[in-house]
Amino acid sequence: MPFAPVLRSEWLKIRTLRSLLGALFALFAATTGFSAIAGVSDPSDPGSDPLFMALSGVAPGQIAAISFGAMAVSSEFQGGGLRLSLAAVPRRGRWFAAKATAIAVPTLVVGLVTACAALVAARAGLGAAASGLSTGEQVRGVVGCATYLTLMALLAAGLAAVLRSGVAALSLLIPFVLVVSFVIGDVAGGVTDFMPDRAGQVVLYETHVGTLGPWTGLAVTAAWAATALAAGAWSLRHRDA
């Protein structure tokens, strides 16, 4: 079967599952809402980074992106869904590529809309504190934010394919980005800068320090996502449906 109809069928699955659409809505609502709150919290703080404050809602928003990616894959392991999918598309690699694409595209689109809305909402609160942001920096923040959310969704999708469980994938990833980054990462430094969330979020800062820059940081996150997807594809090929 050609790739296009496989992709269309995977998109139809996502579009008809309310939980997945709810995760995308939560991504928009959480990111925009928390960014708006951050914009009015303390815009006069001279030590704050205005671009990161404007897009800081990505911290809770990424949980929704991770949930979307994990649930989109784990739904196949419920009720024999994967056996039916593979009966229609025997080439497992093609099916998994279509599934990953069906996850990535809506996450990227919703991420772009969300980042734009978050930036506009936060700038209203930041006022003069955001006046120094250039057009290029804002575009980089919006595109980088959407790309980062997409990569985190794909990372979760690959992990869910390996573990064959959305709950297991979420149980690993959510504590990882909430506890390791905010507690251990700030203390340890160094190698923790190469964790997927810390590396990818460098693109959200107007100014950055450290080894990684905005795009090299996203490249590190992309490497994590690619590794997870490759592991998921290997698991799918070598394990029974």
Query: pLDDT of 106-147, one tens digit each?
Result: 999 999 999 999 999 888 777 776 777 888 999 999 999 999
Q: What is the DSSP letter of 207?
A: S
Which of 9-23, 68-82, 150-164 tops mean pLDDT?
A: 150-164
Report the C-alpha gap between 41 and 8 in whole angstroms.
43
Residue 241 pLDDT more than 70? no
pLDDT for residue 40 is more than 80:
no
Residue 26: which residues within 8 A CB-CB, separation 6 or more?
Answer: 64, 67
Instruction: Say if residues 107 and 11 touch (Cβ distance below 8 Å).
Output: no
194, pLDDT greater than 60: yes
- What's residue 104's pLDDT? 97
What is the arithmetic mean of pLDDT over 202-223?
A: 91
For residue 189, the model assigns a pLDDT of 58
90, with CB counted inside 10 A (0-12, 13-18, 19+), is exposed
Express the helix, strand and coil content of the chain in percent, nearest 5 each: 85, 0, 15
pLDDT per residue as tens digits for the range 44-54: 555 678 888 88
Residues 62-102: pLDDT tens digits?
999 999 999 999 988 887 777 888 777 778 888 999 999 99
Q: State the DSSP code for 239.
A: S
Report whether 118 contacts 188 (CB < 8 A).
no
Residue 202 has pLDDT above 70, yes or no: yes
Name residue 135's amino acid. Answer: T
Task: Give the residue-averaged pLDDT of 24-40.
Answer: 91
* Global confidence as pTM: 0.92
The residue to which tokens 């394990």 are assigned? 239
